[in-house]
Amino acid sequence: MPSVFLKTYGCQMNERDSEQVLRQLQDRGYRPVQSEKEADVVLLNTCSVRDLAEQKALRKMGNLRALRKKNPGVVLGFLGCMAQRRGAALEKEMAGVDLVVGTQKFHRVPDLVEQARQARLGGRPSFLAEVEEETGSESAIRDHVFAPRQVTAFVSVMQGCDMHCSFCIVPTTRGKERSRPIAEIVEEVRHLAGQGIREVTLLGQIVNMYGRRIPAREGKSAFVQLLEDLESVPGLDRIRFTSPHPRGMKPDLIGCYGRLKKLCEHLHLPVQSGSDRILRQMGRGYTADQYLRIVDQVRQACPQIGLTTDVIVGYPGETDADFAATRKMMEQVDFDNGFIFRYSPREGTRATQETGGEVPEKVKEERNQELLGLLTRRAEEKAKQRVGSLVEILVEGPSKTRESRLTGRSRQNRPVVFSGGERHLGQLLTVRITESTGFTDYGDPSILG
């Protein structure tokens, strides 16, 4: 039985795509292995969001070629975003690679791997590249691989993005916005719940704009219709989604918080900047005030919501005043957590043509540290208020830092670590918070049943 090693770079979307590819290869008789050294097929599912991510995958592939000394038949392939962006050019950039498979061609991987293996084993290696658009490819990410006692799963509901934010390569690598039909997604989630999955995270680059071309029903967008239909799936306890766009946070969706029992009280809503001038240059399509209004409405609908965000510091031309506006926005919203990114130019995006002037790396780093400091201080202060409270968690498995402990997530998406036993795995439990480091809480097992 041939073996396969698949390494994934980048986001949850990529993890989900890799899961699909592995499942298809398993169905064809391939055995997944934990190390490239044992594999007959080595695939890298790549990320293009930053140049650094591409360089990492290229370096890795450069080293993988040494595997051929021991195993001349080993097949090497690039999948995903970088494969899509660079396409057939990778044949010249990285001699010895057999496969380049783009983001709309994941379902073709088993056939292409087979062809490449036959060619290698026959001593006639060839280069195969498939990166064309394909109608209906958004529905190809639908099968799962289950780990023992797994209780959470990602579900891809749409692919691509038509927003074209100035800094983002995603519309190039993932193509135009394409949504799967509601009924197909509901069927997939029913199947997952039947396999013991209790929480799903719906994935899409602008997930809350899912199904923009599906007609509204009783004034409700397609995304709200989807959430409502998933609410009635038996056995499913929790629904999350990531990442939404502020422009898609309309009253019908905001009204779902608190109304739909399974929808978790967590919203990761990328703000990117608090400066209207920078938001305009980024092409985000909202102002700082409009973002703040959305936050107010969400908090009114659901006071216990956990709010997290993404921010870019050092966008071309970002002045001290622009940064001060971002800092003010962070203070006003009082996020529970956030990812702060230092802007780095991405070839092929509009932002590289900005004439406003590059922000020095040192300044980007200072701004990055300032926002991280703000988030950490507030997280520590809020953590004190949580100590003593009761929290519902879904127990996912052993803690990453100490295997003897278990970890789960609150509905606000905060990790909670506690000393539990085998019987708690996969359960929804209520624990009392006894301690917190700010971003991780610790629970008291004594109230457990």
Which stretches of the chain bind ligand SF4, using CB under 6 A? 161, 163-165, 168, 170-171, 205-206, 245
CB 174 within 8 A of CB 214: no
Question: Measuring CA to CA, how many Å separate 25 from each of 31, 143, 156, 406?
Answer: 8, 12, 19, 32
Give min distance, CB of 160 to ligand SF4, in A: 9
Indicate the helix (H) or strand (E) that contains 305.
none
Residue nearer to ligand SF4 on the CB measure, 163 or 263: 163
Distance CA 214, CA 158 (A): 13
Residue nearer to ligand SF4 on the CB measure, 41 or 165: 165
Residue nearer to ligand SF4 on the CB measure, 94 or 170: 170
Angle between helices 361-386 and 320-333 (to 10 degrees): 10
Does a cis peptide bond (omega within 30 degrees of 0) precede residue 243?
Answer: yes
| The length of the chain, given as a count of residues | 449
CB 226 within 8 A of CB 182: yes
Structure token digits, residue 361: 């790396």
Residue nearer to ligand SF4 on the CB measure, 244 or 420: 244
Residue nearer to ligand SF4 on the CB measure, 168 or 267: 168
Burial class (CB in 10 A: 0-12, 13-18, 19+), 66: exposed
Give min distance, CB of 219 to ligand SF4, in A: 24
Give min distance, CB of 40 to ligand SF4, in A: 35
Give min distance, CB of 163 to ligand SF4, in A: 4
Give min distance, CB of 86 to ligand SF4, in A: 19
Q: What is the CA radius of gyration of the chain?
A: 23
Instruction: Find all residues with CB under 8 Å of 22, minimum gap 6, and list them.
Output: 4, 6, 32, 145
Residue nearer to ligand SF4 on the CB measure, 171 or 274: 171
Residue nearer to ligand SF4 on the CB measure, 165 or 416: 165
Q: Is the dihedral of CA 190, 195, 197, 200 positive or negative?
A: negative
Give min distance, CB of 141 to ligand SF4, in A: 17
CA atoms within a 13 Å half-sphere pointing along the CA-CB vector of 305: 28
Structure token digits, residue 418: 């506690």
Give min distance, CB of 310 to ligand SF4, in A: 8
Give min distance, CB of 63 to ligand SF4, in A: 31
Residue nearer to ligand SF4 on the CB measure, 168 or 325: 168
Q: What are phi and psi of 378, to 5 degrees?
A: -65, -40
